[in-house]
Structure 1
Amino acid sequence: MTTLTDRPRAALLVIDVQNGVVSGAHDRDRVVATIAGLVDRARAADVPVVWVQHRSDHLPADSEQWRIVPELSRRDDEPLVHKAYGDSFEDTDLESVLAAARVGRLVVTGAQTDACVRSTLHGAFTRGYDATLVADAHTTEDLSAYGAPPPAQVIAHTNLYWSFQTAPGRTAGTVDAAEVDFAA
């Protein structure tokens, strides 16, 4: 149970599913389709969908690379958080967006597994949120040329270690998209 008082709601967090982030991502089409299904389910359950969009020298604001992939569409009434750092909470309005919606539990999806997804999970958890990673709804690019494991191993390792996260008064873990329960 979250340590954030009076925050009974869950939210679906969609991190950096942008053209320039996922263009070469592992299993891109399946992951994006899985996220789209979760977005539909969250909307049907009246669960907030919060979109996170990264900007950098490689993802300049308003460029094609910066845009959310065409398979996903954000509704005008859904929050959009702009960020410039890995952790979606760092120097953004994400905390105030979640507080206004009384959200204490995050269901996390997106890209890249070994960067922004992981940073945001840890950022949420240390700030008192319950944080569930959707095991089959995050991805990363192949950085093995730089010494990283292949993307499937990065994803598997992140799912493994996040399934064992613990801290007083908070829950963490992984779940497949088919098992996501926004009401739990």
Structure 2
Amino acid sequence: MTHTALLVMDYQNGVVSRFGIPSAVAAARRAVDAARAARVPVLFAGVEFRPGYPEIATSNLMFGGIPQRAAAGPADPRSTEIHPDLARRDDEPLVTKVRVSAFAGSDLDYLLRAAGTRHLVLAGIATSGVVLSTLRQAADLDLELTVLADACADADPEVHRVLVEKVFPQQAAVTTVDRWAASLQD
């Protein structure tokens, strides 16, 4: 699997606790373990803003309310950390993004190009958010894509199903963690 990388997106404490989907966390952990065993680089991506949220326009429907919610009380400082079940290593890049896509406001494209990555494997929360947005941008960058359906989760199971069964296959191979892990051994 030369030139392949696994990108694990928004598996942050705050996101995981909000979605509450332990099966997706377990699947993402199996994907990370399989990638490490096969020496496939693992990258993590998460959303985080500067103090005072200068990156957020009030017109942004998804993020615009964050400054007001933050004014009501401080968030848990660990909410933006990668979930401990994934055991991120210091040598695994953490891409900080300021919008939905893992490419938005981050250095992800530079990291992938510098490593010669041509095949990107995606896992993330939410399927209709970071996974969809990142997949579209990665496809526009001519990357070969795989989506690990069981390592993705969405608040709406029907939206998740439609995306992984009908939308994503137009631009990516869609599989399970176990099938992908087995392919690494071939």
Return the TM-score normalized by structure 1: 0.80
Q: Is 1:33 aligned to residue 33 of structure 2?
A: no
Deviates more, 1:51-60 or 1:124-133: 51-60
Task: Give how far 1:69 is off.
Answer: 1.2
Matches within 5 A, 1:49-60: 49-56=42-49, 57=66
Task: Give how far 1:182 is off.
Answer: 4.2
| Alignment-mate amino acid for residue 121 of structure 2 | V
Task: Give how far 1:140 is off.
Answer: 1.9
Aligned residue in 1 for 2:179:
179
Task: Give how far 1:130 is off.
Answer: 0.9
Task: Give how far 1:24 is off.
Answer: 3.0
Q: Is 1:23 aligned to residue 17 of structure 2?
A: yes
Q: C-alpha root-mean-square deviation of aligned residues, in Å?
A: 2.4
Task: Give how far 1:173 is off.
Answer: 2.0
Aligned residue in 1 for 2:59:
none
Of 9, 12, 15 in structure 1, the residue corresponding to residue 6 of structure 2 is 12
SS class of match (1:71)? helix
User: What CA deviation, in whole Å up to 9, does each residue of 1:100-147 have, x standing for no partner?
Assistant: 211111110011111111100111001111111111110122xxxxxx
| Alignment-mate amino acid for residue 153 of structure 1 | E
Unaligned 5+ segments in structure 1 are 1-7, 142-150, 167-171
Question: Which entry has the higher C-alpha Rg, 1 or 2?
Answer: 2
Unaligned 5+ segments in structure 2 are 50-65
SS class of match (1:154)? helix
Return the TM-score normalized by structure 2: 0.80
Q: 8 Å contact 1:110–1:117 — kept in the other structure?
A: yes
